[in-house]
Amino acid sequence: MDMSQYLEIFIDESKEHLQTINEQLLELEKTPEDMTIVNEIFRSAHTLKGMSATMGFEDLANLTHQMENVLDGIRNHKITVTSEILDVVFQAVDHLEAMIMSIAEGGDGKRDVKEVVERLKRIERGESPAELAAATATESPSSSASFSQTYGEFEYNVLQQSKEQGFSAYEIRVKLRDDCLLKAARVFMVFEALNEMGEVIKSNPSVEMLEEEQFDQEFVVTVVSKKSAEELYERIMKVSEIEEVDVVPFDVEERKKTDAAEAAQAEARQQEAATVQAKQQKQTKDSSEPNAAAKQSASTNKTIRVNIERLDILMNLFEELVIDRGRLEQISRELNHPELHETVERMSRISSDLQNIILNMRMVPVETVFNRFPRMVRQLARELGKKVNLEIIGAETELDRTVIDEIGDPLVHLLRNAIDHGIETPDVRRASGKPEEGTVKLKAYHSGNHVFIEIEDDGAGINRDKVLRKAIDKGIVSKQNAENLTDRQIYELIFAPGFSTADKISDISGRGVGLDVVKSTIESLGGTVTVDSEEGSGSIFSIQLPLTLSIISVLLVEIQQEKYAIPLSSIIETAIIKKEDIFHTHNQQVIDFRGKVVPLVFLKEIFEIPTVTEEEEFVSVVIVRKGEKMAGLVVDSFIGQQEVVLKSLGNYLTSVFAISGATILGDGQVALIIDCNSLIK
């Protein structure tokens, strides 16, 4: 049966199950006696094991099975949950994630997991993890039991018939030397020797995998032969580069009984899990409104997985449609034909609805990114000897998938920064009258056409003087300029390339790489990042991102005979000002806008636009803002608001100042889209 058609579904579902396991393990650490959490983890692990075995990924299934045994021990109160035990389980989950990634990249999902399997076995036997590290370093799992094979009905029949004909069955474990160069050749010689003395019934890994050297140093073969175990042992040991051989007589009846007992145990565990689940569902159903569970199960099934490439193609086609829609609207206005006008208006309404649906299809909850952080925060806090509680708020907030793909790394940097530089060690927090456990809040919410992501910590805050001192030392600001900077501007200096306040370099921070990458990544997505801090109380990093990157609302303006588009998200308002209301200060033309001094930026001069018409006594100004800073962009006239498709300028025009892209207007003209951020800078 060809399994390749199910591979994509297997990978997606495996990632979901691993995510659930990760989340529930973190919950289990907080409430170790809650067996409902253990059952939840057990169910995900069990499903993952079944899927892996069906798809033929034996290593994945075996490791999950071993993890399942430990969870079963916890569930039956034979094993007590501790952070050390969970460290080993997390290590197993890491291996499982690496295997899934290997499969997703076209690999075979194989990985050396002997050490973690042995640790899980020791935990299952009731040994404490403190003893494990030393024990695993000195021992390797060499018992033949750990290599026992699984047999199907066909193999049992063959072994049974061979026994009746006077043959003996053996399970033989062969270990090659670590420095063996041609593993496949040695395997071939072992098989040839065994075929001379009997017949090979089964091997683990399979013959194909052994031929392709897809195994570590060990393999197991099941053989029927009329020779004794000693003769088989001596014959195999004659093959060079073989370190160890175990020949174990094989009793078919005994093995069948063991298999049946194991299968019965597994089934009992499954039934128990199903009973617990049924009870939980019943409790949930009783506590919630009638039919809520039924409604929920009905709604969860109505989803379909679509390859993102198809959505990208759909988006591109729709963008072309938006351009033609603008063209039709313009033609309709020029012809002034009532029926054409009505049809175009209706088409515009329908295409607006279609646009919303397509954009919503591309929207993904930020939860998909946030989910990996609790585990990272736990690990980092343990490494640094700190106590940190991560609160996630608004994980259901949705963002365009292209933004989701890029936002992960900046958030990792900001969280590591908050835990390393922000949150203090428990003794320091106690001394300053704070609770030992620091809190980091990761919050996402919608506001207008933007999504805001905030990372807030209740740590030490930013030391203003230290930042300023370092910035002057590194030549980021001069001493003269430093005196005029506001607190907010000083905090923003930490985003400068190469800036770091760490006194010593560690694996976590201190190299001056990180926050400058955060800033450039977020600005490349059309967003902004700001920081606010209070020394001794904590800091807030705030990221503002556009909801979608490809179709944006703009204000079209005219400068002489050229048209430009200014994104509505940056605009506060438009104004028409008399020339005498413009003042000069510090070689800069400014206006008084609602009690604030706003500098003017003459776009005609910046873009070197040739003058065709004479200037009038009134000036049209678009007031734009980036963070706290404001500016007035001087244009000749306003054309109106329009939705346009943002197209990049391509590789030839990558470094054009203050232009973020271009769009095609209804009359076929190209209008450049102005990047307000770089103008305000």
Token pair listed for 400: 């365009």
Number of helices (H), then strands (E), belonging to the chain: the values are 24, 22
How open is the CA angle 469-471-474, to the nearest 5 degrees?
110
Decide if 131 is catalytic. no
Percent of the chain that is helix, strand, coil (3-state, to 5): 50, 25, 25
Q: How far is CA 450 from the centre of its chain?
A: 21
User: How many whole angstroms separate alpha carbon 336 and alpha carbon 338?
Assistant: 6
Q: How many CB atoms lie within 10 A of CB 680?
A: 18
Token pair listed for 328: 């039709």
Q: Residue 149 class from Cβ within 10 Å (0-12 exposed, 13-18 middle, 19+ buried)?
A: middle
Catalytic residue among 68, 218, 454, 492: 68
Is there a contact between 438 and 459 (Cβ–Cβ < 8 Å)? yes
Token pair listed for 252: 């078919």
Decide if 437 is catalytic. no
Closest CA to 630 of 600, 606, 607: 600
**Cα separations in angstroms, 515 against 415, 510, 511:** 11, 11, 11
- State the DSSP string of 537-591: TEEEEEEEEES-SSEEEEEEEEETTEEEEEEGGGEEEEEEEEGGG-EEETTEEEE
User: How many whole angstroms separate alpha carbon 273 and alpha carbon 276?
Assistant: 5
| β-strand partners of 263 | none
Closest CA to 92 of 146, 149, 13, 25: 25
- State the DSSP string of 177-207: -TT-S-HHHHHHHHHHHHHHHEEEEEEES-H
Q: Which residues contact 421 (CB under 8 A, 6 or more apart)?
A: 459, 460, 501, 502, 509
Task: Spell out the alpha helix ranges (H) of 76-140.
Answer: 83-104, 114-124, 129-138
**Cα separations in angstroms, 79 against 73, 116, 123:** 5, 17, 8
User: How many whole angstroms separate alpha carbon 520 and alpha carbon 637?
Assistant: 33
Catalytic residue among 46, 95, 413, 421: 46
Decide if 291 is catalytic. no
Q: Which residues contact 178 (CB under 8 A, 6 or more apart)?
A: 217, 243
Catalytic residue among 22, 39, 204, 417: 417
SS3 category, 596 = strand
For 529, half-sphere exposure in the C-beta direction (CA atoms, 13 angstrom radius) is 26
Q: Which residues contact 538 (CB under 8 A, 6 or more apart)?
A: 422, 456, 457, 458, 459, 460, 461
User: In sequence order, what E strands does 293-449 have?
Assistant: 363-365, 388-393, 398-400, 438-447
User: How many whole angstroms separate alpha carbon 404 and alpha carbon 418?
Assistant: 21
What count of residues does the chain have? 681
In degrees and rounded to multiples of 5, residue 20 shows phi and psi of -60, -45
DSSP 226: S
Is there a contact between 546 and 449 (Cβ–Cβ < 8 Å)? yes
Residues acting as catalytic residues: 46, 68, 417
